[in-house]
Structure 1
């Protein structure tokens, strides 16, 4: 038998390595940006075309490379960062393994231009499928420009597995944000298809956070700063009111390297315990600096997962640092009366509280009611307060319920009847229900009686199911009517949200949202569905986006399905909202006109039934 084990050719070995390092365009972006940072650049520009599939180019003003270094940089495991085995345990640079450029050259067509400050000319190298096609001098400024074109042109199967352009661009923006957040002193810019997405001037960490995540965070950041002999932690966390339903705005950096760590995230969540809702996630951008010998970053191809020598110490330190920062924020609330100068002119502020005023206040029945023991329940008997009770007395008809004619004059229903409505009795096999008199409990549940017992309907869950099926019909050929805004509303979004909205524009239009790009990360809201209250258009879209990102973590849903569920949740009438008889009746009828009236799109029950004979048994009848 002949020998069968052979060494792989370099180009095949590089392609196999590329499968680990360069999984998508965003992977190449990460490696190239980190190389530019390591080169000592103060300005880094990222240019992408066709979501990185056609072009990814990074231009920096770093120290550049000599002719020999430029050529050697594309060899496998060629690096300037590692000299001996000890260096592996004291890594302070972003890159160190020498795999990135070799992997990039194996799956794309690369053009590298680089020049050192002391050299007269730079070097230009063109590489195609790991083979050097051209190397020649070139006139250029100090620094490096590397462009990779036609990613995966020689690996069609890998190219076919790439997602849509908006999806791939989202991943690129993610990587760009992670690197630019870690180095606020460096200027960064991102241009996609000729349009600038980010222009981040150098500045402080807080300025960089606001530049990336939006001005809404400007006054809602709490500084975290703790130092010890073992490690330092610094950065910012968002105040509790900024907590969202998604994990999006959460960044951990160890020695300026972005990492993913469920363990440390749990530490931060523990610091926010009982300050935010259980299903909410706080915003944080935290930097941990410690001796490189205490961590191992060479445990994952993307270097986004690391090992700590003592995880428990780091966990405890992070939790206590964030808790301390939040405590300082909580114990020093301030009232700034300068915010409203009119307060300074009120009588209560400008006029003295004389003895005459004191005795007048103390003699009032309201004062006595609340200062004498066991008197609070007599408040309604005081003659001067009787008019308050009248406000809470419902207008009664002969039957004891709200007079229908008065009701119709006061309130318009908040739920639109579907033109394709089918009667309730067609959809349920149990005895006919009485929809004439409906009861609302706790402004959340609707009680519907029938001959066999009664049903309790959760109004938000029911409305979610109704809206969800309405959206399905809209996409299938019954578009929802758009209510045009008299004065168009301008809405500014973060760059990440701009990518999402751009991708969703066609579906949003079918569902009644008319948005138009207005440049510079802004959209103009020209119209919304009739269900959306005037003045609430911007908030409705922002909440829908937040919920959409929440669903995006679940891979089993399509983009359209995520949008339907997000809008249904956002537009549904929430628990705690008082409904009129007419509104409750339409809600119940529309629920049982649905194809699946018993559950929400997320699988929660919309109603539960109670049998009359079960009630009889409870009372011994």
Structure 2
């Protein structure tokens, strides 16, 4: 009976139709317009083109066109190139380990044809006529001979027209255009000997003439880098490294201007980025990131580029040796150009008269020195810990740190102000007691009047960073920067929901030149920034006029304020949980908050404390840092044994 029932049940596994399978596969390669741009530009490079033009309409949603003067294709190749896994680069499995081209898997054009309406015109230089092919939904609609220039022109129209759900996930035009510019920069930077251009909605964004790597970097990332690049050149038997790194003063709060290329292919590698960061150790702040454009050339057999659909992540056969070479190359470059600190010694003429210098080192002295205990501890491996205490010479001058500190934890406390100085005489156990026993910083249940400020008495600023504010129950220790960030955040939030901030017009408006990527970002932010007191107007290509700023911006600092704002905004852009407006107000709050070291008057300190306690949530910043810690009388008495 059971067997009979199994025969009635229909089979449930079926083969997908080709057009559905192609659309699913296309999702791995073509995620947004920028993905198609990357694939088409790389194909043009592989075709041997010397001039490549990218034309974009509506941020790639309406049109993406790439025109090159490469070798073109025959009629048969022009039709076959849109089939899945059709490639001219791979003949046998061993070819995967000798890849020297950008594309090789035969998925790009098939994916493009699956999610857009495609028109292809191509001709080889020796052919009299070219080939025109029109494809829609992976099906060839039209094919005929045509007159066209040597090379290939491929047009993508109406991206994701047949996958509306995926089209709905695309961001705004400004956001998608930024991604397109990023991909264009990565490809064009890898091939400075080729001409590239980019036009958007009829306006030229980039016109990149052939030149050197340094010229291409300046063309793409901006003129400020022209005098702030340090050349990196290292050649070894295993790999070659060349490129440029920025001087320490070019470091930013974001990772934007960081590019690794392996065999001219842009890659992402947190491991190699760490190598560069280590080379900059002690040269830049810990929360800053250096600029670099580094090209690594090594045998294709030593890497595997076939580990990710976009080929931006690769595997090294021995990544540790690559790490070491990158770190050493950058360190050497910085030292060679006198970027890293060096020690200089002036030789005292009296040293030349010492016996150790002027007299020969006799055989007896050599024998005595080589037989000494100190000599053996430094000349043999794993012997350093056998140095004897008080063994004479330099050794007698060393005293263990533990012997000094034992039983004298408060010996270095000069006065009560030192207690609040960060990094000195800090007791972790005391800090823990403050966090657990003092109520306030994270406890929002008590009534607000608990933190009511005293009308009399002066406030005290400590180390230009903290403010001691007396209250009826004790005192509050405010972090002035975090407190101001909370105040500004709530002020900006209110401005975006119907209470625009006051703006002051500039008597002499400043002009701001930015790179194309930042230009697209700033254009997207202008409407929201107007509500926050910034009046910014486009003024030509990648140029803006600052007509007005918030009232608290000091005249003359407008350009720096907006440049830092863009840098801060990009710092948040990697976190997908933030909306555009949330990123903007967080960036502005961090940018305009009082920085450590700023001295405040009594009036300013009292106003800051009052504004903080009037916030809806005064105890923490939006990032979770405490704005103040409360020290109540009961806790203070317990500290002194009361």
Q: CA deviation at 1:9?
A: 2.7
> Following the alignment from structure 1 to structure 2, what is the Cα–Cα distance between the partners of residues 22 and 620?
69
* Partner residue of 2:173 out of 165, 178, 182: 165
1:30 to 2:38 alignment: yes
Which residue number in structure 2 is paired with residue 349 of structure 1? none
Aligned-partner Cα distance in 1 for 2:252–2:626? 25
How far apart are the structure 2 equivalents of 1:435 and 1:524?
A: 47
SS at match of 1:519: coil
Match of 1:71 in 2: 79
Structure 2 counterpart SS, 1:97: coil
**Cα distance change of structure 1 residues 112 and 524 upon mapping to structure 2, 3 Å threshold:** same
Distance 1:206 1:117 in 2: 33
Q: Distance between the aligned counterparts of 1:108 and 1:619, measured in 2?
A: 76
TM-score normalised to structure 1 length: 0.83
- Separation in 2 of the partners of 1:618 and 1:470? 38
1:470-526, Cα deviation, whole Å (9 max, x unpaired): 111111211111110111111000111011111111100000000000121000000
Q: Does 1:484 align with 2:505?
A: yes
**How far apart are residue 162 of structure 1 and its match?**
1.5
Q: Secondary structure at the match of 1:279?
A: coil
Q: Does 1:508 align with 2:529?
A: yes
2:627 match: 606
Q: In structure 2, the residue corresponding to 1:428 is in which secondary structure?
A: helix
Structure 2 residue 201 is the aligned partner of structure 1 residue 193: yes
Residue 466 of structure 1, aligned match among 474, 487, 510: 487
> Structure 2 CA distance, aligned partners of 1:242 and 1:296?
33
Distance in 1, matches of 2:131 and 2:605, equals 75
Q: Is residue 2:333 matched to residue 1:292?
A: no
Indicate how the Cα distance of structure 1 residues 18 and 331 shifts in structure 2: closer, same or farther if over 3 A, else same.
closer
Q: 1-side partners of 2:565 and 2:13: how far apart?
A: 57
SS of 2:337's partner is: helix
Which residue does 2:265 correspond to in 1? Answer: 257
Residues 1:479 and 1:436: Cα distance change in structure 2 (over 3 Å) = farther
Cα 1:195–1:426 change in 2 (3 A) is farther
Separation (CA, whole Å) in 1 of partners of 2:600 and 2:456: 14
Q: Contact 1:434–1:450 at 8 Å: present in 2 too?
A: no
Partner residue in 2 for 1:9: 17
Aligned counterpart in structure 2 of residue 590 of structure 1, from 607, 611, 615: 611
Residue 429 of structure 1 and its aligned partner are, at CA, apart by: 2.7
Aligned counterpart, 1:217: 225
Alpha-carbon separation, structure 1, partners of 2:13 and 2:635: 77
CA 431–204 in structure 1, closer or farther in 2 if over 3 Å, else same? closer
Q: Which residue, out of 434, 440, 453, partners 2:474?
A: 453
Cα displacement string for residues 201-232 of structure 1 (whole angstroms, at most 9, x for unaligned residues) = 11110111111111111111111110111110
Paired residue for 1:130, among 127, 133, 138? Answer: 138
Please list, as runs of the form range in 1=range in 2, the aligned pairs for 1:428-439 lying within 5 A after superposition: 428-430=449-451, 432-434=453-455, 436-439=457-460
**Aligned match for 2:278, one of 263, 270, 276:** 270
Residues 586 and 84 (structure 1), Cα distance of their counterparts in 2 relative to 1, 3 Å cut? same
Paired residue for 1:364? Answer: none
Match of 2:54 in 1: 46
Q: Which residue of 1 aligns with 2:254?
A: 246
**Equivalent residue for 1:547?**
568
TM value normalised by structure 2 = 0.81
Q: Residue 82 of structure 1: CA displacement?
A: 1.2
How far did residue 78 of structure 1 move?
A: 1.1
What does residue range 335-414 of structure 1 map to in structure 2 within 5 Å? none
Match of 1:579 in 2: 600
Post-superposition offset of 1:465: 0.9
Quick one: distance in 1 between partners of 2:140 and 2:639? 86
* 1:111-150 correspondence runs (5 A): 111-150=119-158
- The 8 Å contact of residues 451 and 613 in structure 2, kept in 1 or not, is answered as no
Residues 426, 433 of structure 1: alpha-carbon distance in 2 compared, 3 angstrom cutoff: farther
8 Å contact from structure 2 (residues 305, 313) kept in 1: yes
Structure 2 Cα separation of the partners of residues 131 and 167 of structure 1? 31
What are structure 1's unaligned runs of at least 5 residues? 335-424
What is the CA–CA distance in structure 1 between the aligned matches of 2:613 and 2:62, rounded to whole Å? 51
Aligned counterpart for 2:288 among listed residues 269, 280, 285:
280
Please provide the CA RMSD for this pair: 1.7
Shift of 1:277: 1.2
3-state SS of 1:597 partner: coil
Displacement of 1:184 in angstroms is 0.8
Aligned to 1:384: none
Tell me how far apart the structure 2 counterparts of residues 618 and 261 of structure 1 sit (CA, whole Å): 50
The 1-side partners of 2:538 and 2:185 are apart by: 22
